[in-house]
Each structure stands twice: as structure tokens, then as C-alpha cells.
Amino acid sequence: MRIKSKNVLYFTEREEEFAELLHRIGMGKNVSKVLVYLANTKETTSRDIERGTDLRQPEVSMVMTALMELKWIESREERDQKKGRPVKIYHLALPISEVVDSIEEDKKTEANNQLAMIRQLREFITE
């Protein structure tokens, strides 16, 4: 059984804002778009992601690799009666709220590291 795309999801204004906010906090623009797309689908094909996010296949492929490394998404393959190449089906591995929690923790760590370096800088100017 192969998933056939009947309805491709496109971003609402709110989803565009969500993706833009993810981008503004430091996430890549393409990663932001794909995350928001996946947050609004149970599972989807890379082709649907391309259409719904207006990204090209190589861009989607790079994003999916990055998200797999973070363990934020999972994939499986399905064949259409053993003809042609299998189709990859993607879904979030955890709820989007947990993805945001992970981003928050990373940003806190990053901010704390930056503040520690600023304290070190201050030591140089007070000596």
C-alpha cells in the first residue's frame, strides 16, 4: 500500500508566523518550514513536503537528514506493489511541544555560554 497525495497542506498565516519565529531564534529557514509542516501532519511524503513548503528535493533531503540526526523525526518506506523505488514516509518522532522544549534548552545553554564568555572578557578589562 502506498500513500497517495490527495491533499497537500499549505501554510496558513499562523503557520507562516510560527516558521518565521523559529527562523528568527536561529533555526534554518528550511528546517523551520519543514518542522511546521510536519507538526501539522500525522505523516507525509517528502514530495508533499516539497510542495507544501515550496522547497526543492535536495533542500528537503538535507533538512530531513538534519532532523533525523536530532531524532526529531522518523521515517519508514513503503512500496507500491514492489514497483519502482520505495516512498519515504516521515513523521515527528515526538510532539512539537517537546521539540520546542529541546530548542529552549539549547538556547538556554547557548546563552549561558555566551554570558560566561562575557564574564571572562570583563576579567581582562578589570586587570
Per-residue pLDDT of the chain (127 residues), as tens digits, is 334 445 667 788 999 999 999 999 999 999 999 999 999 999 999 999 999 999 999 999 999 999 999 999 999 988 776 677 888 899 999 999 999 999 999 999 999 999 999 999 999 897 6
pTM: 0.82
pLDDT score of 86: 84
pLDDT score of 78: 86
Q: Where are the domains of the chain?
A: 1-93, 94-127
pLDDT score of 79: 79
Instruction: Tell me the CATH class for 1-93.
Output: mainly alpha
CA pseudo-torsion sign 98, 73, 22, 44: negative
pLDDT score of 127: 67
pLDDT score of 100: 96
